[in-house]
Structure formats: structure tokens, C-alpha cells
């Protein structure tokens, strides 16, 4: 067996990030060949990933990247098994690298992202293989749960990430004054994160959601002994309150509870003599 120097072990650790003992073993198994040792560790990571496939990965983080011109944005949720790993720089750095890769290549789904190759820092591996390698490095299952991409050639994309990176949001506005609309978009991204709307306007609320809510309110009213002739009025009133809870434009604005988000949009239009509408939003909360 060839002599394994401490320098070789350190070099392998610098390349792979794997622990010193595992690096030493990899070099011993590979007769000191650095490339073979790297491949050995990659295969070990894949084997560990397969072994831990049934484990639950409920911790992790939400990572967001926005292009410098605010014309594109990516949000993703990367999961691991423990909060200890989720808070570590290795995991957070990897999540950020995945988000940057997705943004740079306009990847619109986890499948698209996992087929792309990362840079030299991650051995130029495809993201899917890098996930397995990272499992070997961290000793935990990793899972890319979800990903969304916004492209806004006719507007602006902004984001909000709550401290701790377990909650984040993206908002896309259509506007002819994108520079002026950036602060508005940031406020709306915070609104989405804090108030959890499900749609932009009430016309987009799924019919089955409405039916479900109406039936709940109807049964509650009947259970309280309300007269039959008043039940539908009660249901209609409560449905209006439901819209104010789940429709973004009908929510109370988080910075001023006396006005609605629709008022904020109207004020921007008047102030800047501009067009602006919310085209879409995404809200990710860890584990949801």
C-alpha cells in the first residue's frame, strides 16, 4: 500500500469537504490516486443516500436568488434531516449554489435543476449527483422539495426571506415603471410571507375552495340554531371575510391596516402615472 501523506489527505478534504478519516480511507482504498479517491467518496455518498432514502427530511431552508436587473427570480426549498445540519454553512452554501444555478439557467422545476452541472466548487457534478455527494459529506438525506421560477421581461421580481430562512416569498409585478415599483414589490413580497394569501384576486379562488367554505359556514349557522331564511345571508357575509383573508388584493396591507393591498396598488398608479398589477407570487414555508 502506498504511503498516504497528511498533505494528500488535506488536499482531498479541501476538494470534497469530507472528514479527514474518510479522506484517508478513500486514498488508502485508491492507492493514493486522488481522482480515484474522489470517485470513491462520490460512490460512498451515493450509497449513503440510498441507505437513507427512507429517512424523513423535514428540516432545511428556503433559498432565493434574484437577478441584478430584477427581471428573474428563483425560490426553492432544500430539505435535510436535522436543524443542526440546516444551520451549517456547508448546507446553506449548497442551497445557495443550487438557487444560483437555477437562476443562471432559468430552471423552472426540481427536475430541470437536478440535470444541470454545478461549478468547480462541487466537482462539476450534476446537481443530482452533487446531492448524493453532499449526503455523504453531511451524513444526512437531502431532498430538493420544490422550486419556482419567475421571469418578468415586462416588470419586476422581488423577494422576502424571513430571518432563519424557513419562510420566503417571490412576487412578480407587471409594470411600465419597474425601477419605481421595486419598493412596492418588496412590500408585497413581505405581505405574501406574513399574510399567506392563496390567489391574487377573488376570481382565481378555486370553486371547490368556495364550496367547502360555504358548507362549513352553513353547517355552523344551522348548528347555532339560526333561522333557515337567514343562513344564506350569514354564509354570504362570512364568505366575504374569507376573501379578505385569502385574496392578496383584498387583504389589509401589513404596513397600514386601514387600507387594502388594492388601495396600495391604486396609489402607486396615481402617484407614478403608471401601470402596475400583480402577475403572480409564491410563498414557501419550510415543511408545508
> What is the pLDDT at residue 153?
96
Instruction: Supply the DSSP string of 80-91, one letter for each residue.
Output: ES-HHHHTSHHH
Please tell me the pTM assigned to this model.
Answer: 0.81
pLDDT in tens, the chain (288 residues): 457 888 888 887 777 666 777 778 878 888 788 888 877 777 766 555 566 667 788 999 999 999 999 999 999 999 999 999 999 999 999 999 999 999 999 999 999 999 999 988 888 889 998 898 888 888 888 999 999 999 999 999 999 999 999 999 999 999 999 999 999 999 999 999 999 999 999 999 999 888 888 788 778 777 777 777 676 777 778 888 999 999 999 999 999 999 999 999 999 999 999 999 999 999 999 988
β partners of residue 75: 64, 148
* CATH code given to domain 55-151: 3.30.479.20
* Domain limits, the chain: 6-51, 55-151
Residues 124, 118 contacting (CB under 8 angstroms):
yes
6-51 CATH, one of 3.30.460.10, 1.10.8.10, 2.30.42.10, 1.20.1740.10? 1.10.8.10
Amino acid at each position: 500500500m502506498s504511503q498516504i501523506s497528511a498533505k494528500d489527505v488535506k488536499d482531498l478534504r479541501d476538494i470534497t469537504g469530507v472528514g479527514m478519516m474518510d479522506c484517508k480511507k478513500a486514498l488508502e482504498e485508491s492507492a493514493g490516486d486522488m481522482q480515484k479517491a474522489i470517485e470513491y467518496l462520490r460512490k460512498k455518498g451515493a450509497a449513503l443516500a440510498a441507505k437513507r432514502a427512507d429517512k424523513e427530511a423535514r428540516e432545511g431552508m428556503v433559498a432565493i436568488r434574484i437577478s441584478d436587473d430584477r427581471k428573474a427570480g428563483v425560490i426553492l426549498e432544500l430539505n435535510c434531516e436535522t436543524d443542526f445540519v440546516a444551520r451549517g454553512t456547508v448546507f446553506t452554501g449548497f442551497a445557495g449554489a443550487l438557487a444560483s444555478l437555477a437562476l443562471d439557467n432559468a430552471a423552472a422545476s426540481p427536475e430541470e435543476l437536478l440535470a444541470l452541472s454545478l461549478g468547480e466548487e462541487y466537482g462539476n457534478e450534476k446537481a443530482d449527483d452533487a446531492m448524493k455527494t453532499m449526503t455523504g459529506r453531511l451524513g444526512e438525506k437531502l431532498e430538493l422539495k420544490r422550486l419556482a421560477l419567475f421571469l418578468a421581461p415586462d416588470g419586476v421580481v422581488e423577494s422576502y426571506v424571513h430571518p432563519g430562512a424557513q419562510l420566503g416569498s417571490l412576487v412578480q409585478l407587471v409594470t411600465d415603471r419597474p425601477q419605481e415599483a421595486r419598493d412596492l414589490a418588496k412590500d408585497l413580497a413581505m405581505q405574501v410571507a406574513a399574510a399567506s394569501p392563496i390567489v391574487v384576486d377573488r376570481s382565481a379562488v378555486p370553486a371547490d375552495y368556495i364550496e367547502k367554505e360555504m358548507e362549513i359556514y352553513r353547517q355552523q349557522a344551522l348548528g347555532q340554531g339560526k333561522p333557515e331564511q337567514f343562513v344564506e345571508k350569514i354564509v354570504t357575509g362570512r364568505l366575504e371575510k374569507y376573501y379578505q383573508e385569502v385574496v392578496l388584493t383584498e387583504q389589509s396591507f401589513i404596513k397600514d391596516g386601514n387600507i387594502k393591498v388594492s388601495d396600495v396598488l391604486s396609489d402607486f398608479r396615481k402617484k407614478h402615472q403608471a401601470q402596475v398589477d400583480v402577475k403572480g407570487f409564491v410563498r414557501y414555508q419550510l415543511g408545508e
